[in-house]
Amino acid sequence: MTSHAEWIAIDPERAADSLQEAVEKVNSAEGEVTLDFSAVRRIDAPAARAVEQLAVAESRPVKLVLHAVNGDIYKVLKLLQLTARFTFGS
């Protein structure tokens, strides 16, 4: 189990898989985990569902930071009522 800050870059070519892997890491993490969206232009439905999975684990002792989320993706998360579960970094 890690307790330090972790930085996970989301692969734009396989965002859903990348996020799914992040879900697993987050499940075993403490402290702060940052998911770096800087290379991601858009997310598809599986990726959106993966973010939803990250969001539902409210009781985890981990702070989730979504880094460099663009306006389009932020709107998707907003429409799905997921933004309140994350901290957004630029």
Q: Which residues bind another protein (CB under 8 A)?
A: 42-46, 48-49, 52, 72-73, 75-77, 79-80
Contact 54, 19 (CB under 8 A): yes
Q: Which is nearer to another protein, 11 or 52 (CB)?
A: 52
Name the one residue in this structure whose structure tokens are 């870059």.
Answer: 9
CA angle 78, 84, 88 (to 5 degrees): 85
Q: How far is the CB of 39 from another protein (least distance, A)?
A: 15
Q: How far is the CB of 78 from another protein (least distance, A)?
A: 8
Amino acid at 18: S
Question: Rounded to the nearest whole angstrom, what is the least distance from the CB of residue 11 to another protein in the complex?
Answer: 17
Place of tokens 């697993």: 24
Which of residues 5 and 57 has its CB atom nearest to another protein in the complex?
Answer: 57
